[in-house]
Amino acid sequence: MRDKIVSLILLVVGTLLGSIANMLVQIYLARELLVIDFGFYTSILNLANLLTPLIGFGISSFMLKAYAEEGYGANRWLSNINILLIASAAIVFCVLQLIGFLQNQSLNYFIIYSFFYIYMLSVSYNSFMSIRFQIEGRFRFFSLWQVVPNLLKLVSIFICISFLGKSVHSISIAYLITGMIVIVFSLNSLHRMRSGNITLLDKAVYKKYRVVTNKELVINAIPFGLNGIFYLIYFQSSILILSLIKGYEEVAYFGLAVTLLTAACLLPSILFQKFLMPKIHFWSIYERKKLYSLYRIGNYYIIILGILAAFANILFTKFFLVYIFGVKYEPATTALYIMSLVILIKYFNFNAGALMTTKNLINLKSKIMMFAAILNIVLGLVLIYFYGVGGAIVGMLVTECFIGLCSIKAVNREFKDVYE
């Protein structure tokens, strides 16, 4: 138990430091760039985040589930993974450049989008390193690795802006440097997983599994890929709508709102998506009663933490905007107060959301996220037109409520045999 507590604390500290480094990037750029330039950077980063899950399309997330269920037998899924990664990466590059051209009506930004693309590749490949640390239970190394990419990005941006000037082009070079370094380390982890050179924390019941094809891998990974895509469409589509209807200044305000939301949800994100996720997959197969009991108890604790986080957001929002990001972002203060309600609901959704990735529930979760994405886009088109950033946040609040209600209903139905 002591080792688990120490591992969790280290993971929290590592992720917190990584998030601080990422927030420092946002703070530094928000203060150094013009609002319109920061909005343009936010728009590119949003597009990159939206397309990155298409590279590999959920394979790394599926592998976390596969190792929990099959143990070392899960290595069979990675035999020809390089072909899939290369093919999906090529498609994403073309889509990225096409959208970039359509948004700006110019090829002048081809190099900038290309440099951000290298960073997108690094995020995709880095997911395999994260998965390896999770399934091996090496949370101390995992906590250290949470800091490295964002710290590299922060240092690279500072150096590039200092020598090359305050421009999006300088920032793109920093993302290129960061991406190349992360890719080198991540490829090693993928190779170790393919060769079976790993030590699993939880060993599933041994079976002799048959060889699988790439088609089977894609079919099994699709729900995880769709879930990631629909989540990002829901979570970041408002940025695109804001840029089209209101302009890059409103995008900058909303970008800061999302940054603060991410920071506020750091603790449950670490707990459910990083520390407990391998166990949750394992328990969903071998200890279902234990998993559901922890879920029921967890709901009480997570709602208390959510109330505290929402209250903290109300207290410190204006301080962050005015004294850290700069007085030019003060107009976004009122809208960010509304974000407190989003934080509260999102905290509560983490618990059920984690169980929704297990067994066949992931298929239902991808459908829920599809409807959530559609709902948020429809709400965004209407609310953003009339209320700008505030409307985008209200749309996010309604969407989070929809996701939570659907997820709780699905989890209770799935575990009906346990509590009856």
Summarize pLDDT for 54-64 with one digit per residue, the tens.
887 888 888 88
Distance separating alpha carbons of residues 124 and 225, to the nearest angstrom: 12
Rounded Cα distance, 133 and 142, in Å: 6
Instruction: For the chain, give the mean pLDDT.
Output: 82
Tell me the C-alpha distance between 206 and 210, whole Å: 13
d(CA 275, CA 338): 30
pLDDT-derived band of residue 205, with 50, 70 and 90 as boundaries? low
> Which sign, positive or negative, has the C-alpha torsion 217, 360, 278, 282?
negative
Amino acid at 343: I
Distance in angstroms (rounded) separating the CA atoms of residues 190 and 266: 26
* 294 to 64, 279, 415: CA distances (angstroms): 20, 12, 12
| One-letter-per-residue 3-state SS of 15-64 | HHHHHHHHHHHHHHHHHHCCHHHHHHHHHHHHHHHHHHHHCCCCHHHHHH
- 275-310 CB burial, b ≥16 within 10 A, e <16: bbbbbbbbbbbeebeebbebbeebeeebeebbeebb
Domain boundaries, the chain: 2-419
The lowest-confidence range among 14-18, 230-234, 408-412 is 14-18
Mean pLDDT confidence for 16-22: 75
The secondary structure of residue 76, as a DSSP letter, is G
What was the pLDDT predicted at 403? Answer: 93
Kindly tell me if the per-residue pLDDT of 51 is higher than 80.
Answer: yes
User: Rounded mean pLDDT of 39-49?
Assistant: 80
DSSP for 203-214, written as a single string: -PPP--PPP--H
pLDDT of 398 higher than 90: yes
Q: Cβ-count burial of 165 within 10 angstroms (0-12 exposed, 13-18 middle, 19+ buried)?
A: exposed
**pTM of the model as a whole:** 0.74
